Structure 1
Amino acid sequence: MSTLFKNLRIHQIFGSNTDVGKTILTTALVKASVTKNIPVFYLKPVSTGPPEDADDGHIKRYTKPGLVHTDCLFRYDEPVSPHLAAKMKAAGGARPEIPSDQTVVNSIANRIRQYAARSQKYAHAYMETAGGVHSPSLSGTTQADCYRPLFLPTVLIGDSRLGGISSTISSYESLILRGYIIDAVLLFRDDYYSNWEYLEPYFAEKGIRLSAIDPPPTRLPDPATDRLCVQKYYNDLTTDSTSTGINAITDHLDQCHTKRLDELASMPRRTFNTIWWPFVQHGLVKTEEDVTVIDSAHSDFFSVYRSQDQTGGAQSPATSLLAPEFDGSASWWTQTVGHAHPSLTLAAARASGRYGHVMFPQATHLPALNLAESLVHNGPGKGWASRAFFTDNGSTGMEVALKMALRAYTSRNNVTESDKKRLGVIGLNGSYHGDTIGAMDACAEGVYSCEWHDAKGFWFDPPSIGIIDSKPSITLTPALHSLVGEQVLPAPSLSWIYDIQSRLRTPLARVYQDYIREQLEKLEERGQKFGALVLEPLLMGAGGMIFVDPLFQRVMVDVARSRKNEKDTPPAWSGIPVIFDEVFVGLHRIGMESTGPLLGTYPDISVNAKILTGGLVPLAVTLASESIFEVFLGDNKATALLHGHSYTAHALGCEVANETLKLIDSLKTTPGWQAAQASWSDDVSSPCQVWSFWDPGFVQAVSNLPHVASAMALGSVFAIRLKSGSDSGYVSMSAQAMFEPLKRLIPSANELSAAPSGAPYTTHYRTLGDVAYFMTSLNTQPAVVRSIEDKIWGVLQSP
C-alpha cells in the first residue's frame, strides 16, 4: 500500500506517451533538488534496452554522485516493451519466471523503505515508469494498474508533439480514474504546436500546476561535445528562478507533500468537530488516535494514517505514516473483488458518461435491462422470479418487498381496513432488515429500534448452527430443548446439517413443524393476522452472525405456505407470501448465489444488494414472482405499486452491478475457489454443499479454545462467539476488548508474503457484542486469509 514519510518526499513519474522526455525532465528535477543540497534517490523499476542507454545511467551522468543514488530493479537487454522483454528472457531460460505484479510492487516498496531509513534529513525520491501510462508491466498488466497499490503522488509528463494534447488529457483521465494524486504536469515548450498554451488553463481549472520547460538541445554527432551541451542545458534549467521553472516545480512538489502531511494530521480533529458516525457511541471515542483516517484503499486493504506519536516519532524515520490495514468486515459486507477495482471504476465511468442519471418510470436503458434479465433469468431469480424492481439500498429494497407481500396477502383474503393496519409478519429473533421505519417494524424490539418503532408480528427464537469443540452442532432454544430433551445436538458433518431433503424426514423436522404450527395457531386464536414470512436465510448478520438451522427455516416456509387463504389461490402461490432478505448472504457471500436451491424452496419475493455492486455504489433489486406482480395489475393507477426513489435504476449502479456479476462468474473456476471447496468436502466422492474460504482446521481449532463458545464459517464469513456471563448480546464489549490487539502489528508467519507491498499490517474489524466476525472479498488471496488466521489465532492464544 501507499507509503508516506515526513523526511522523504517521493513522486512517481508517468509519461503520457513514449519518448515525451520523462528521463530528461526527471533528470532536471533531480538536478534542481541537488542544487538545494537535498539528497535524491532515483528508482527505475524496469529498464529495457542496452545498458549504455539506460535511464539510470543518464541520471548518473548528469547529476552529482555524492547526493544522488540510483537504482534499477529489473533490467532487460532487449529494447522492447517490458512484457515482451520479460517473455524473451523467460523463453531463453535466463530468468525462468516472469516477475508478478506483487513481486514488482513489493520490490519497489522495500527499496522506498530503505531510502526512508537513510533519510535522516529531508530527501527527495523519484520513481520513473516506462513508456506511457498504459504501457505494459512485466506481467502484461497496464502500468497504471500495476503500480496502483503503491499509490504514490504523481508527476505526469505531457506530450508536446502533434496529437500531444489528446494523449496528455487521456493519460490524465486514466490516472484519475484509478485515484492517483497528480501534483504537477510537465512538458516541453514547443512554440510551433504550443500544446502547453492549451493545457495550462485546462489543468489550472482542476487545480493542477503545469509548467512548460525548454526542450533539450538537438543531439550532436560528437559524444563529448553533446555531453557538454546537455550538461549546460541542465545547468541553465536549474538556475532558472522564474515561477514556471524547474526549481519552482520542486518547491511546488515540496508544498504538496507538506500539505498532504498537514491535511492527514488535521483530519481526526476536524472529524471530531463535524462528523456523526453510524453505530458508534461517541462518548467512548476518547482520543484522536481512535479515529481511523483512511487515505486510500486498494484490494482488501485500507491505507491508514498513523501520527508521528503512533509510529515512534522522529526516532523512526523509516516508519511510514501510512500503513496497510486489512478490511476485516469487507467494509460492512459490501466488498466483492476488493477496493478500487479498475473494471468496476470504468463501468461506473462508462455509464456516468453515457447517461448520468435518467428517470426510470415507463422508461428503460441497457444497464438496467441487462441487469434485470441477468438476475431474473440466470441469477438468484432463476426458476421462480419474473420481475425486478430497483431501489437505492437493502433497507429500501425490503420496504418494497413488504409492500408487495402485504398487498398480495390482502388481495387474497378478506381483510378489513382496520386489520390491514395491524397485519404482522412472521420472522426470527435476531433478524434485521435495515434502518428505515418499515423495515424496522418487521423486526422484533431491539437495539436497532427507534422511538417510532412498532414491532408488527411474531419472531421465533431460532435454533443455530456452530462448530463446538470441533464438532458441527445444532443448538436448540429453551422451548425446543424442552421438547427434544437435549440442548446441543451433535451432527455427523456440516454437509449433513445442510442436506435439507434428507433432514426433512427426521424426527427433528416433525418437532419443528409441530412447534411452529402450534405457536401460530395460538396467535391466530388471539386475533393476530400475518401477511408475510420474512427471513434472512441461513445467516442473520446484524443480529449477531447467527447461523440458523436451515431445516428450521425450511419448515417455517412450508408451514407458512400451508396456511389457508380465504379466496381462491392459483397454483403458483399459497399461504402467505415468503420474503428472502438476501442483502447480506446473496450472490456468493456465503458460498452460494442464492439460498433457495439449498433450502429446496424458493421465495415469492427476494432482495439483493451489497455484493451486487461490488461495494462501489448503492443499489438494490427486489425480485418478485409473476403472481405477486399480477396483484398490482389493473386499470386503476391507485392499485399500482406506487413506490420509488429519485435514483431508481440509476445507470451507474446498474452498469457496475453487471460488471460485478461478470467478475463473480470468472471467479467461480479459479484455483482459490476450487481449493477452498475441496478443503471443506466431507465426502470426496460428492461435491460439498457448503464451504468457506477460511480453513476448516483453523475453524475447528478456534472452536476448541476454552473461552470460545462456538465458531462457524460459510463462504467469506468467519464468526467467533465468545463465552460470556451477564455481559452478553449486542451491547457487550467482550469481543471488542478481546480483539483490540489486532489494531496493533501482530507477527504472522504468512504476513510479508500476503500483505500489500510486503509490509506488516494491522486489521480493521467490527464486532457484534460477544461475537467477532471477519470477512474476505470473493477474490482475497489464500495467503492473505492464512495470514489473518495467524493473527486471529495469536490474539485468541494470548493470556
Structure 2
Amino acid sequence: MSLLFKHLRIHQVFGANTDVGKTIITAALVRASAAEQHRVFYLKPVSTGPMQDADDEHVKRYVGGHSSLVQAHCLYRFEEPLSPHLAAKMAAEKDGLLHAPVPSDATFVTSVASYIRRCASAFSEKAHMYVETAGGVHSPTLSGTTQVDSYRPLFLPTMLVGDSKLGGISSTIASFEALLLRGYIVDSVLLFKDEYYRNWEYLASYFAERGVKVSAFKPPPPREDDLAKNFTVTEEYYRTLVPKNKTGGLFDVLRHLDERHAARLADLKTMPSRTLDTIWWPFVQHGHVKGPKDVNVIDSAWGDFFTVYNGHAQSSVTATVPASDSVLQPQFDGSASWWTQALGHAHPSLTLAAARAAGRYGHVMFPEATHLPALKLAERLVKDGPGKGWASRAFISDNGSTGMEVALKMALRAYNVRHGEGLAPARKKGMGVLGLKGSYHGDTIGAMDACEEGVYTCEWHQAKGYWFDPPTVSIRQCKVFVTLPPAMNSHDPDIEVDSVASAYDVPSRMDSPLATLYRNFIQETLQKLAAAGGPPLGALVLEPLVMGAGGMIFVDPLFQRIMIDVVRGSNSSPSGWSGVPVIFDEVFVGLFRIGMLSTAPLLGVTPDISVHAKILTGGLVPLAATLASDSIFQAFVSDNKVDALLHGHSYTAHAVGCEVANETMDIVERLAEGDTWTDAQDAWRAVTPERTELSVWSFWNPGFVDAMSRLDIVSEVMTLGTVVAIKLKDDHAGYQSASAQAVLRALNSSVNRGEGTVAPGGAPFSVHFRTLGNVAYFMTSLNTPAATVRSVEDRIWAVLDGKVQG
C-alpha cells in the first residue's frame, strides 16, 4: 500500500507518451539531487530492450561524479524492445515456458514496494527517490493492466513528463486527467521547450489554473552514432541542466517537490487536532475521545484497505514509528466502510462511470423527466434484479433512510386507501407498523418511528407499532442453534439444527412443530393487540435475515416467513397485496451483502415494497431505490395532485449515482460467476455434502467460524455472505457495552501476527473494525481476494486466541 517516509522523498515519473524524454528528465533530477548531496535512489521497475539502452544504465552513466550517492536499479528486465506485457510473454516462450504465468499486479506492486522499503531502511539521512514508469500512463505492465491502475496501490506522489511534440498538448492533458481520475497527487509537470510547437507556453497557463507547477527545459541534443561523442555531448547537456552553482529550473523543481513532500507530512500531522476542533462524528461519544491519537487519519484507500497515518498514534498497541518506516500503514477496512463497499475502494471502473455521468449530465431535475442512467437502473432492478417477478416501479432517492421513508409512505397510503374509510382521523394518525425488536431503518424521524424506542432514537421519537422479540440463528461450539426468546419458551430456549444450511432451508421447515409454534404465537399476539384496542398496523416492516445495527442479529428465517404469511392471511386480494403491505428493508442485506441478490427467494415470498442502497453504488456515492408492486403504485394514481407520492429530493435519481449503480451491477454479475465465489461456496457445500442445493454460504471459511465458536471468550458466532459476527461473553451485554472494542483493540496494531498477514505491497496491516456492544463484526467486499480474507481471519484468531491463552 501507499508509502510515505519522513526522510525519503519519493516521486513517481509518468509520461504523457512514449519518447517524451522521461528518462532524460529523470536522470537530470537524479543528478541534481545528488549535486545537493542527497542520497538518491532511481528505480525502473520494468525495462525492455537491449542492456546498453536500459534507462537505469543511462542514469548511472550520467550522475556527474556523484556515483557514490546514487543507486539505480531495475526489477524486471526483458530483451525485446516491446510493451512489457508482450516482452514478458515472449521471454517465457523463449525459455520454453509456453504457459508460464507472468507476475500478477499484486506480485509486481509488492516487488516495487519491497525495494522502496529496503532503500528507506538502508539510510537514515535525507534522500530522494525517483520511480520511472515505462511508456505512457496507460502503457501496460507485465500483467497487461495499464500502469496508471497497476501502480495505484502504492499511491506515490507523481510527476508527469509532458509531450512537447505535435499533439502533445492533448496527450499531456489527457494523461493528467487519467492520473486525477485515479486520485494521484500530481506535484509537477515537466517537459522540453520545443521552439516550433511551444507546447510549454499553453500548458503552463493551463496547469497554473489547476495549481500544478509546469517547468520546461532545453531539449537534449540529437543522439550521435559514435558512442564516445554521444557521451560527450550528452554529458555537456546535463552540465547545462545541472550547473555547479546549483541554480536554475531543475533546482527550483527539487525545492518545489521537497516543499510538497513537507506540506503533505505537515497536513497529516495536524489533521487529528484540526479534526477534533471542527468535526462532529456520527455514532461517536466525543467524551470518550482522549485526544489526537484516537483519530484514524485516512490518507487514501485502495481495494479493501485504508492507508492510515500513524505518526501521531503512540499507544499500547501502536509503537512509535521508527524514522526508517513509512508513516503510512495499510489497514483492512473491516466494516467495508460501514457496509457500503462492494468492489473495494477507488475502483477505477466506478470512478470512470461517475465521471462519465458527471460530464454528460451533471445533475438534472427528474419529475416528469428521464435520463438513460436512471431508466436503465430502474429497468434492471425491476425486471432482472431484486424486483423480478413482483415489482413494477422504482422510486430513486438518495440514501437508505430516505428510501425507507418513501417505503413507509407507500405502504401506509396503500393501507389507508383500502381500509381507511372506517378509521377515524385520530386512528389514522396513530397508525403503526409491525416489526421486530432490534430493527433499525435509518436516522430520519419517520424511519426512527418505525422502530421500537432504543439507543438510535431521539427526544422527538414516537414509536408507532409493535415489535416481536425474534428467534435467532447462531453457531456455538461448532453446533448450529435456533434460540427462542423468553416469551416463546418455557424451558430450554435452544433448538439444535443439523447445519447452517438446514436452518435456512425454509420450505423443509414449514410443516415443522416450530413453524406451528411460531404461527400460533404470532396470531395470538396480534389478536391480543386488537382486543386491547391497539393502534391499527398499516405495514409489516422487516430487515430480512440479518438486523445489522441492532447487533448483527441473525433472525430465524422461518419466523419471518411465518410473520409474512400470518399478516397476509389465507385470502389473496384481487387487487394485489393482502392483509397489510410487506416492506423488506434490504438496505444492508441486499445485493449479495449476505450472499444473495435478494432474500425473497430464500424466504419463499416476495414483498410489496423493498428498499436497496449501500452496495447499490459499490460504496462510491449515495443512492437508494424503493421498489413497489403495481398494486402499491395504483394507490397513488388519481386525477387529484394531492393523491400523488409527494416526496422527493433535490438530487432524486442523481445521474452520477445511477450510472455508478449500473456499472456496479455489471461487475457484480460477473463476480457471481467467478472462481472466488465458487471456491467459497464449495467450502460451505463441503460442510453439508448431502445437500445438492446451496441456500446460504459465506466468504469466511467454515473452519475459521467453527474455531471462533469454540473459544471460551466467545458466546456465539454467525456468518452469511460477506459478514461474520462474533459475540463475546459479557455480563453487561448490549449496545453500550465496550467489551468487544476492548478485547479486539490489538487489531489496531500493524504488528505481523501470523504468516501471510500482509496487505498488498507486502506490509503488515492493522484491522479497522466497528463493534455493536459486545458484538464485533467484520465484512469483506464482494471481490475481496480469498488470501486477504484468510489473512484477516489469522489476525482475528491471533488476537482472540491470545486473550484466551492470557
Q: Give the shorter-chain TM-score range.
A: over 0.9
Partner Cα separation in structure 2 for residue 533 and residue 588 of structure 1? 23
1:123 Cα offset (Å): 0.3
Partner Cα separation in structure 2 for residue 177 and residue 89 of structure 1? 33
**Do structure 1's residue 648 and structure 2's residue 662 form an aligned pair?**
no
Counterpart in 1 of 2:589?
585
**Do structure 1's residue 280 and structure 2's residue 284 form an aligned pair?**
yes
**Do structure 1's residue 326 and structure 2's residue 332 form an aligned pair?**
yes
Partner Cα separation in structure 1 for residue 312 and residue 416 of structure 2? 63
1:724-743 superposed matches below 5 A: 724-725=730-731, 727-743=732-748
Deviations along 1:369-413, one digit per CA (max 9) or x if unpaired, are 000000000000001000000111000000000000000001111
Q: 2:373 aligns with which of 358, 367, 377?
A: 367
Counterpart of 1:383 in structure 2: which amino acid? G
Which shifted more, 571-580 or 378-387?
A: 571-580
Partner Cα separation in structure 2 for residue 111 and residue 242 of structure 1? 30
Partner Cα separation in structure 2 for residue 471 and residue 630 of structure 1? 48
Find the residue that maps to 1:210 and give its secondary structure.
strand
1:120-519 superposed matches below 5 A: 120-239=124-243, 245-307=249-311, 310=314, 316-413=322-419, 414-482=422-490, 485-519=491-525
Counterpart in 1 of 2:618?
614
Q: 1:543 aligns with which of 550, 563, 567?
A: 550
1:757 Cα offset (Å): 0.3
Counterpart in 2 of 1:554?
561
**Do structure 1's residue 28 and structure 2's residue 31 form an aligned pair?**
no
Counterpart in 1 of 2:88?
86
Partner Cα separation in structure 2 for residue 569 and residue 428 of structure 1? 25
Partner Cα separation in structure 1 for residue 230 and residue 703 of structure 2? 68
Counterpart in 1 of 2:39?
39
Counterpart in 2 of 1:73?
75
Which shifted more, 393-402 or 96-105?
A: 96-105
1:224 Cα offset (Å): 1.1
1:308 Cα offset (Å): 6.3
Aligned residues of 2:575 and 2:631 also touching (Cα < 8 A): no
1:91 Cα offset (Å): 1.9
Gaps of 5+ in 2: none
Partner Cα separation in structure 2 for residue 33 and residue 412 of structure 1? 79
Q: 1:236 to 1:411 in 2, by over 3 A?
A: same
1:520-539 superposed matches below 5 A: 520-528=526-534, 529-539=536-546
1:616 Cα offset (Å): 0.2
Partner Cα separation in structure 1 for residue 313 and residue 617 of structure 2? 38
1:572 Cα offset (Å): 2.2
Counterpart in 2 of 1:576?
580
Partner Cα separation in structure 2 for residue 472 and residue 244 of structure 1? 73
Partner Cα separation in structure 1 for residue 474 and residue 794 of structure 2? 21
**Do structure 1's residue 107 and structure 2's residue 115 form an aligned pair?**
no
1:750 Cα offset (Å): 4.2
Deviations along 1:4-47, one digit per CA (max 9) or x if unpaired, are 10000000000000000000000010111011011100000000
Kindly tell me the number of residue pairs found equivalent between the two proteins: 791
Find the residue that maps to 1:680 and give its secondary structure.
helix
Find the residue that maps to 1:193 and give its secondary structure.
coil
Find the residue that maps to 2:761 and give its secondary structure.
helix
Partner Cα separation in structure 2 for residue 744 and residue 722 of structure 1? 20
Partner Cα separation in structure 1 for residue 186 and residue 148 of structure 2? 13
Deviations along 1:744-772, one digit per CA (max 9) or x if unpaired, are 124344435x5110100000000000100
Find the residue that maps to 1:758 and give its secondary structure.
coil
1:317 Cα offset (Å): 2.8
Aligned residues of 1:211 and 1:244 also touching (Cα < 8 A): no
Partner Cα separation in structure 1 for residue 585 and residue 698 of structure 2? 21
Partner Cα separation in structure 1 for residue 197 and residue 163 of structure 2? 11
Counterpart of 1:21 in structure 2: which amino acid? G
Q: 1:657 to 1:767 in 2, by over 3 A?
A: same
Counterpart of 1:734 in structure 2: which amino acid? S
Aligned residues of 1:187 and 1:213 also touching (Cα < 8 A): yes
Partner Cα separation in structure 1 for residue 288 and residue 312 of structure 2? 23
1:448 Cα offset (Å): 0.3
Aligned residues of 1:584 and 1:609 also touching (Cα < 8 A): yes
1:436 Cα offset (Å): 0.1
Counterpart of 1:201 in structure 2: which amino acid? S
Counterpart of 2:784 in structure 1: which amino acid? T
Identity across aligned pairs (percent)?
A: 61
Q: 1:501 to 1:308 in 2, by over 3 A?
A: closer
Aligned residues of 1:241 and 1:248 also touching (Cα < 8 A): no
Find the residue that maps to 1:104 and give its secondary structure.
helix
Partner Cα separation in structure 1 for residue 461 and residue 356 of structure 2? 41
**Do structure 1's residue 745 and structure 2's residue 750 form an aligned pair?**
yes
Aligned residues of 2:616 and 2:623 also touching (Cα < 8 A): yes
Q: 1:38 to 1:520 in 2, by over 3 A?
A: same
Counterpart in 2 of 1:701?
707
Aligned residues of 1:308 and 1:321 also touching (Cα < 8 A): no
1:675-714 superposed matches below 5 A: 675-681=679-685, 682-683=688-689, 686-714=692-720
Q: 1:243 to 1:506 in 2, by over 3 A?
A: farther
Aligned residues of 2:544 and 2:589 also touching (Cα < 8 A): yes
Partner Cα separation in structure 1 for residue 735 and residue 96 of structure 2? 59
Counterpart of 1:531 in structure 2: which amino acid? G
Q: 1:603 to 1:189 in 2, by over 3 A?
A: same
1:296 Cα offset (Å): 0.1
Aligned residues of 2:293 and 2:313 also touching (Cα < 8 A): no
**Do structure 1's residue 18 and structure 2's residue 38 form an aligned pair?**
no
Gaps of 5+ in 1: none
Partner Cα separation in structure 2 for residue 99 and residue 293 of structure 1? 32
Deviations along 1:400-453, one digit per CA (max 9) or x if unpaired, are 000000000011113222211000000000000000000000000000000100
Deviations along 1:170-205, one digit per CA (max 9) or x if unpaired, are 000000000000000000011110101100011111
1:465 Cα offset (Å): 0.3
Counterpart of 1:24 in structure 2: which amino acid? I
1:119 Cα offset (Å): 2.3
- Give RMSD over aligned pairs: 1.4
Scaled by the length of structure 2, the TM-score of the pair is 0.97
Aligned residues of 2:432 and 2:464 also touching (Cα < 8 A): yes
Find the residue that maps to 1:751 and give its secondary structure.
coil
Deviations along 1:230-261, one digit per CA (max 9) or x if unpaired, are 11111111129798611100110000000000
Q: 1:596 aligns with which of 575, 596, 600?
A: 600
1:319 Cα offset (Å): 1.1
Which shifted more, 611-620 or 414-423?
A: 414-423
Aligned residues of 2:752 and 2:765 also touching (Cα < 8 A): no
1:686 Cα offset (Å): 0.4
Scaled by the length of structure 1, the TM-score of the pair is 0.97
Q: 1:779 aligns with which of 777, 780, 783?
A: 783
Counterpart of 2:649 in structure 1: which amino acid? H
Deviations along 1:253-291, one digit per CA (max 9) or x if unpaired, are 000000000010000010010000000011111021110
Deviations along 1:674-706, one digit per CA (max 9) or x if unpaired, are 111111121355032100000111111111111
1:709 Cα offset (Å): 1.1
Find the residue that maps to 1:757 and give its secondary structure.
coil
